[in-house]
Structure 1
Amino acid sequence: MPADPRSAATPPAARARALSKVYGTGEATVRALDAVDIDFAAGAFTAIMGPSGSGKSTLMHLLAGLDTASSGQAFLGATEITGLDDGALTRLRRDRVGFVFQQFNLLPMFTAEQNILLPLELAGLPREARARAAAKAASREWFDTLVATLGLADRLTHRPAELSGGQQQRVAIARALIAKPDVVFADEPTGNLDSRSGAEVLSFLRRSVRELGRTVIMVTHDPAAAAYADRVVLLADGAIAGDISEPTPESVLAGLDALRSLDGSVLDTAAAR
């Protein structure tokens, strides 16, 4: 079972046990994910890669509670999310999960600051006055930290249409982090960005892990993007097919080439680099 070595020291932020997802029936059956066992370490930046149709987005969606498993278990920390009802899943996604998507999904009528703070507004504050004041102060301090880290101080009053793609994605990252979620799931976060803006966004995701103590799990098709992560998990045909620690663009490309060749011994060699 592939696992980051650091996962032995602290409980994993997310994990899958015999996790499967099947679409269709009979001859139209598609097994998008096939009995996957894997741990994702807390306080780490992990990338998930694989050919089109390999199951990488399906795995992320199941771990994030965005889709339901056909069988097996998915955990966020100690909480098993498979089997939770809709209300419990909604609360879990609101309180413990952050999302960054290829489409920035910012509200066009809101300023950058309002978009960032939206998850806190949706979650509400404690009713008791003292607790509410303390929560506001703590939230504002964290907001200021995120704004400084992401370089957004001079863009807070701008609406999305007044921001570049890279700036919009930085706002989306701040929004994903504002509630201090257990895990941030990023689905092709640089897919709509030019190479320079994409590199900036990836650097900010890495800084959020190394400097702010967050956990990021990212799906990407780009070896250069995956190289920003601490670890790359490779999928093929719905199954774990490789695991690369301290990846470089070259080692990721070697792993992907090995997947295409369907040569397990070559894959083992590439993953060990």
Structure 2
Amino acid sequence: MQTHSAPPTGRDALAAVAAVDLVKVYGAGDTAVRALDGVTVGFERARFTAIMGPSGSGKSTLMHCLAGLDTATSGQVLLGGSDLTKQSDKVLTKVRRERIGFVFQSFNLLPQLTAERNITLPLDLGGRKPDAELLDRLVTTLGLGGRLGHLPSELSGGQQQRVALARALVSRPEVLFADEPTGNLDSRSGAEVLGLLRTSARELGQTVVMVTHDAGAAAYADRVVLLADGQLAGEIHQPTIASVTDALQSLAAAR
């Protein structure tokens, strides 16, 4: 079993969000499943990182714990120095609304609201007004200038995901989590969204953490973190489709 007791050091000490000796167990007794088994890893600010691994490796569980969507069995999740594992449900709800952004495979737009209202919804719920300059920059960068008055049903899948991305970024989250964000998109729309995620990290200074099973999607990231059987299994810097594919094949062969 791989265990860690010390906080992240070096590059990981500069992390926007980090896991420290993170353990997640589902169930109990003979049926218990150890989805995360002592994971310590940090995700740097203003960088685009992909989490990958075979089915059942714990990649989605790790993201859900990092984002405060699931509770860890033990260990720490540090967001800007705050330990999310010690927070109440009320505090976690506020953290998710104000400090974390989400982009999901299913878009999760409200069908009765225009694109603009969907974008500003998190701020509206928190009683905050959008930063007009940031909103204008996002609309321009994401190519939504002529679509703000449209309902989701009047937008293509790629356009809907761009609205979802703008919604996730408009509150200036410390970390943007993307869960298979191109899963429901055609290859062209998917490439556009991945390019925009990369741009948000490189030009907007956004920290992006994406879970994906697609080597092509991971190649857009600055770094790939590999998981296997709930433990860290390596990482790839400046990944390519070939380097990611080779790493995944090696992990599969070792199982």
Same fold by TM (over 0.5)? yes
Is the 2:12–2:41 Cα contact (8 Å) retained in structure 1? no
Q: Please give the residue correspondences for 1:14-163 in structure 2 after superposition, counting only pairs within 5 Å.
A: 14-125=17-128, 136=129, 139-163=131-155
Distance in 1 between the 2:43 and 2:228 partners? Answer: 18
Partner of 1:198: 190
Provide Cα deviations, 1:226-265, integer angstroms capped at 9, x if missing partner: 00000000100000001000000000001001101118xx
Partner of 1:246: 238
Partner of 1:180: 172
Provide Cα deviations, 1:203-238, integer angstroms capped at 9, x if missing partner: 011111111110100000000000000000010000
Partner of 1:269: none
Identity, in percent, stands at: 63
The alpha-carbon distance between structure 1 residues 166 and 186, as it changes in their structure 2 partners (threshold 3 A), is same
The one-letter code of the counterpart of 1:24 is: G
What CA RMSD, in Å, does the superposition of the two structures yield over aligned residues?
1.5
The one-letter code of the counterpart of 2:47 is: A
* Secondary structure at the counterpart of residue 68 of structure 2: coil
Distance in 2 between the 1:40 and 1:47 partners? Answer: 10
Distance in 2 between the 1:65 and 1:25 partners? Answer: 22
Distance in 1 between the 2:11 and 2:70 partners? Answer: 28
How far did 1:27 drift? 1.2
Is the 2:178–2:210 Cα contact (8 Å) retained in structure 1? yes
The one-letter code of the counterpart of 2:243 is: S
Structure 1 portions without partners, runs of 5+: 126-135, 264-273
1:261 aligns with 2:245: no
1:217 aligns with 2:209: yes
Structure with greater helix percent? 1
Which of 139, 142, 158 aligns to 1:166? It is 158
The one-letter code of the counterpart of 1:95 is: E
Provide Cα deviations, 1:135-189, integer angstroms capped at 9, x if missing partner: x4x7111100000000000110100000000000000000000000000000000
Q: Write out the 4+ residue segments of structure 1 that deviate beyond 6 Å after TM superposition.
A: none
The alpha-carbon distance between structure 1 residues 109 and 94, as it changes in their structure 2 partners (threshold 3 A), is same
